[in-house]
Amino acid sequence: MDRLRDRLGASDRDGGPETELQFSLPDAWSVRLFVAVCRKHGLRPFRYARQRRTTVMVRARERHFDRVVWAEFSHLQTELELYFEDVTDHLITRAMGSDGDDSNIGQR
């Protein structure tokens, strides 16, 4: 009984009861990354009928989710954005023969 009480107490200290969390992500790449991180941590992301492709629902303990899953997703999302920026700059420079600098675009 003591071990069971300890386990129940640990889950209460770890963020309280599970709640339904909704996330609206900016693009399909972010959705794919978010779903992968959720599944890695044993969560089952889902979507209700008629929800947008960029909306993802998750049932989780909010504090634990924020501390573990969201922190990892945020870090990886930053890395993904930096990678896309590097690839875009490389593509514009090499394939288009331009630096893509938009600072000298005239006003209408």
Domain range annotation of the chain: 15-96
Single pTM value for the model? 0.74
Helices (H) and strands (E) in the chain, counts: 4, 2
- The verdict on domain 15-96 having CATH code 3.30.56 is yes
Tell me the C-alpha to C-alpha distance, in Å, between residue 84 and each of 59, 62, 78, 99.
30, 30, 10, 16
Mean pLDDT of the chain: 87
Judged against a pLDDT cut of 80, whether residue 59 lies above it is answered with yes
Taking residues 74-83, report their average pLDDT: 96
SS3 content of the chain, % helix, strand, coil (to 5): 55, 15, 30
Question: Percentage of the chain surpassing pLDDT 90?
Answer: 63
pLDDT, one tens digit per residue, over 4-48 is 766 666 555 555 789 999 999 999 999 999 999 999 999 999 999
CA distance 72 to 7: 25
For residue 94, the Cα-to-chain-centroid distance in whole angstroms is: 31
DSSP E strand stretches across the chain: 18-24, 55-61
Judged against a pLDDT cut of 90, whether residue 75 lies above it is answered with yes
Judged against a pLDDT cut of 90, whether residue 57 lies above it is answered with yes
Q: What is the pLDDT of residue 106?
A: 63
Handedness of CA 70, 74, 76, 81 (dihedral sign): positive
